[in-house]
Amino acid sequence: QVQLVESGGGLVHTGGSLRLSCAASGRTFSDYVMGWFRQAPGKEREFVATINRSGGSSVYADSMRGRFTISRNNAKNTLYLQMNSLKPEDTAVYYCATSTSTGARTSYDYDYWGQGTQVTVSS
């Protein structure tokens, strides 16, 4: 069992930045591929980014590439998502999740999920 707790969400203006964190506990963090997803009201959960076990390789959704950066600190059991140049369409609840599949982009490939953190971008 893995417990994931996201933090760092909030209200920001268009063009602003936020850094999300995901604290993991329960099992060896470095055993897992990690990912970020988001879900806006009335929409399906959407892939944001994923990072491999060592943190040396990452994959992004096209609309986030160049603005978002996923990273991890295995010594601190923490996953991060740095979000820059935020837009109103980035407004959503952001979730972190674990996987055993490197590069996985679909929610079905992820096993444990956090409770989410709200990000709201005002225009």
pLDDT digits (tens, 9 = 90+) for 87-111: 999 999 999 999 999 999 999 999 9
- Residue 29 Cα distances to 15, 49, 107, angstroms: 32, 17, 19
Q: Is residue 31's pLDDT more than 90? A: yes
- What confidence tens digit (pLDDT) does each residue in 45-99 have? 999 999 999 999 999 999 999 999 999 999 999 999 999 999 999 999 999 999 9
Mean pLDDT of 3-9: 98
Whole-number pLDDT of residue 1 = 87
**Alpha-carbon distance 109 to 76, whole Å?**
24
**Alpha-carbon distance 43 to 81, whole Å?**
21
Mean pLDDT of 8-12: 98
Mean pLDDT of 11-22: 98
Read off the amino acid at residue 77. N
**Alpha-carbon distance 59 to 66, whole Å?**
11
Structure tokens at 21: 């964190």
The residue behind tokens 């893995």 is: 2
